[in-house]
């Protein structure tokens, strides 16, 4: 009887201590990833990265008609931390064209073969930077809506390039 109580006590202590050791993202269903992340030819030297499901919302307001609409969805996000900036490629503004800032994502497999290239509005990327000059980390979260998970499964390297109209 005492042995059983002692065993249950030890098992309880071990399970409680392991719960506290769990990372926040793991408790929310996030998965640690190991992509090599570049921006053009610059290795972003990512210190931490995860894949996590998040809720997104979009809303629009038309001031002329005083009407609006919105919707929500769930999608996976690639989140990572780096102290290097994304390379920005400029393109010429053209009338009648989509001149919004974009992010180009090139997915590359372990044999250095390009699997796919996806261009998304830069608004699908959230970033937060440290305000301290001695700690210039930037935290990125990229919405991966409409990007197949099997593509991510076969990907070893992701090349990210910001595209901006001039």
Predicted confidence band at 45 (pLDDT cuts at 50, 70, 90)? very high
Rounded-to-integer distance, Cα 28 and Cα 40, Å = 32
Residues in contact with 110: Cβ distance below 8 Å, sequence separation at least 6, in sequence order? 156
* pLDDT tens digits for range 61-74: 888 888 888 999 99
pLDDT given for residue 22 in this prediction = 56
158 contacts: CB under 8 Å, gap ≥ 6: 35, 36, 37, 38, 78, 105, 106, 107, 108
DSSP 3-state of 136: coil
Asked whether 115 and 126 are in contact (CB, 8 A), the reply is no
* Residue 16 pLDDT class (50, 70, 90 cuts): low
Q: Return the higher-pLDDT residue of 14 and 38.
A: 38
pLDDT in tens, 56-114: 888 888 888 888 889 999 999 999 999 999 999 998 888 878 889 999 999 999 999 99
The widest CA-to-CA distance across the chain, in whole angstroms, is 82
DSSP 86: P
CB atoms within 10 A of CB 42: 15
Domain residue spans of the chain: 23-163
Q: Output the six-digit token pair for 81.
A: 């931390």
- DSSP state for residue 123 in the 8-state scheme: G
State how far the Cα of 42 lies from the Cα of 24, in Å rounded to an integer. 29
Q: What is the pLDDT of residue 8?
A: 56
Digit-coded pLDDT (tens) for 127-155:
999 877 777 899 999 999 999 999 999 99
Tokens matching residue 102 = 């974009």
């Amino acid at each position: 009887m005492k042995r059983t109580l002692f065993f249950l006590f030890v098992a309880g202590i071990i399970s409680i201590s392991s719960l506290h050791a769990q990372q926040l993202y793991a408790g929310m269903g996030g998965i640690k990833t190991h992509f090599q992340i570049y921006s053009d030819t610059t290795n972003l030297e990512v210190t931490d990265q995860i894949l996590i499901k998040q809720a997104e919302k979009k809303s629009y307001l038309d001031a002329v008609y005083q009407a609006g609409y919105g919707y929500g969805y769930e999608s996976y996000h690639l989140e990572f931390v780096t102290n290097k900036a994304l390379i920005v490629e400029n393109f010429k503004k053209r009338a009648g064209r989509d001149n919004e800032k974009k992010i180009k994502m090139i997915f590359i497999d372990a044999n250095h073969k390009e699997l796919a290239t996806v261009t998304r509005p830069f608004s699908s990327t959230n970033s937060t930077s440290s305000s301290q000059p001695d700690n210039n980390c930037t935290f990125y979260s990229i919405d991966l809506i409409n990007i197949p998970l099997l593509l991510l499964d076969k990907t070893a390297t992701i090349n990210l390039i910001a595209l901006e109209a001039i």
